[in-house]
A = this chain, B = another copy of it.
């Protein structure tokens, strides 16, 4: 079991591609055939595998989730940490805290159009801790 802690600070609220950072950990692990597991140690940021080609797909995803998480936001009671806090928990609950990706012939077994994203849901952009585990 090869484990690494990464600290990532997204440049803005929204989807931030981290495929290259994860691919580097996989390469360093020297695992040829196995699995790579990612875990984000936060409840207001999450992980997602999505289209890595057309930025308009990500923009539409971000605005869809923003609208959805804020529908009936006037009913929220957990508001002490700002108006982006409760929508952050909702977006995290609707997406992933952990992802597991195959490692095939020493590389991440992603499809042609798949990228790995850290989804930063907060406006203030705190540094985010990720735990990457590889095994084979």
Chain A residues engaging chain B, CB cutoff 8 angstroms: 1, 3, 33-35, 37, 39-43, 48-51, 54, 56-57, 59-61, 63-65, 67-69, 71-72, 75-78, 80, 85-86, 89-90, 92-102, 104, 109-114, 129, 131, 133, 135-136
Contacts and interface: CB of A to CB of B under 8 A. Distances in A.
27 contacts: A1-B33, A3-B104, A35-B135, A37-B100, A37-B102, A39-B101, A39-B102, A40-B111, A41-B111, A41-B112, A43-B50, A43-B113, A54-B80, A59-B77, A60-B76, A60-B86, A61-B89, A64-B69, A68-B68, A68-B71, A93-B94, A96-B96, A98-B100, A98-B101, A102-B133, A109-B131, A111-B129
A59 B93 CA distance: 13
Nearest to A42: B111
A61 B72 CA distance: 12
A37 B3 CA distance: 16
A109 to B, nearest CB: 5
